[in-house]
C-alpha cells in the first residue's frame, strides 16, 4: 500500500497536500481506491463552494459501491480536477497524482490539526 510521507491523511481516507501558495490539494488514498474497486464516475464539488470539515466534497462511484468524499479541512473549493469526468480511473491509476479531486483555500491558515501523518495513518489502517 502506497502512503507517501509528505502528505497528511484523514480517518475517512482522504489525503491532503499543503501547496506552497497556501492551498490544499485533496484526493482519496490508495487504501480507499483499492477498497472501492474500479472507479467509474466521480461527482466533483462546485467551484467556490464553501465546505466545513467533514462536509461532502462529492462522490465516487465504483463497480462495488458509491462513497462520499468528505472534506478533511474546512475551506472554499478553488479548482476541481475536470479530467476525472472523462477519466475517473485516474483515481485508481494515480490516486496521489493525476487522480486528485480538488484544490481548496483553507478557512484557517494556522497549523493543520486533526489529520494524521503517514506513520499515524499506517497505524490507523492496522486497526
Answer for the pair 3, 118: CB distance below 8 angstroms, yes or no.
yes
* The pLDDT of residue 110: 59
Give per-10-residue mean pLDDT for the chain (127 aa).
95 93 93 94 96 94 92 94 97 97 83 87 94
Report how far residue 10's alpha carbon sits from residue 54's, in angstroms, rounded to the nearest whole number.
10
* The pLDDT of residue 121: 97
* The pLDDT of residue 111: 62
Q: Which three cell numbers stand for residue 10?
A: 484523514
* Structural domains of the chain, with CATH: 8-126 (2.40.50.100)
* The pLDDT of residue 21: 81
Task: Mention every residue, 6+ apart, whose C-beta is less than 8 A from residue 90.
Answer: 81, 83, 84, 98, 99
What is the DSSP track for 9-40?
Answer: E-TTSEEEEE-TTSEEEEEE-HHHHHHH-SEE
Report how far residue 2's alpha carbon sits from residue 112's, in angstroms, rounded to the nearest whole number.
22
* The pLDDT of residue 48: 97
Amino acid at each position: 500500500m502506497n502512503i507517501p510521507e509528505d502528505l497528511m491523511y484523514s480517518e475517512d481516507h482522504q489525503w491532503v497536500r499543503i501547496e506552497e501558495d497556501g492551498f490544499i490539494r485533496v484526493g482519496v488514498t490508495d487504501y480507499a481506491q483499492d477498497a472501492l474497486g474500479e472507479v467509474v464516475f466521480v461527482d466533483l464539488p462546485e467551484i467556490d463552494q464553501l465546505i466545513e470539515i467533514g462536509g461532502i466534497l462529492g462522490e465516487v462511484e465504483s463497480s462495488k459501491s458509491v462513497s462520499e468524499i468528505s472534506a478533511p479541512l474546512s475551506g472554499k473549493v478553488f479548482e476541481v480536477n475536470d479530467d476525472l469526468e472523462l477519466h475517473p480511473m485516474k483515481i485508481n491509476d494515480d490516486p496521489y497524482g493525476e487522480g486528485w479531486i480538488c484544490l481548496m483555500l483553507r478557512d484557517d491558515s494556522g497549523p493543520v490539526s486533526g489529520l494524521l501523518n503517514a506513520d499515524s495513518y499506517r497505524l490507523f489502517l492496522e486497526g
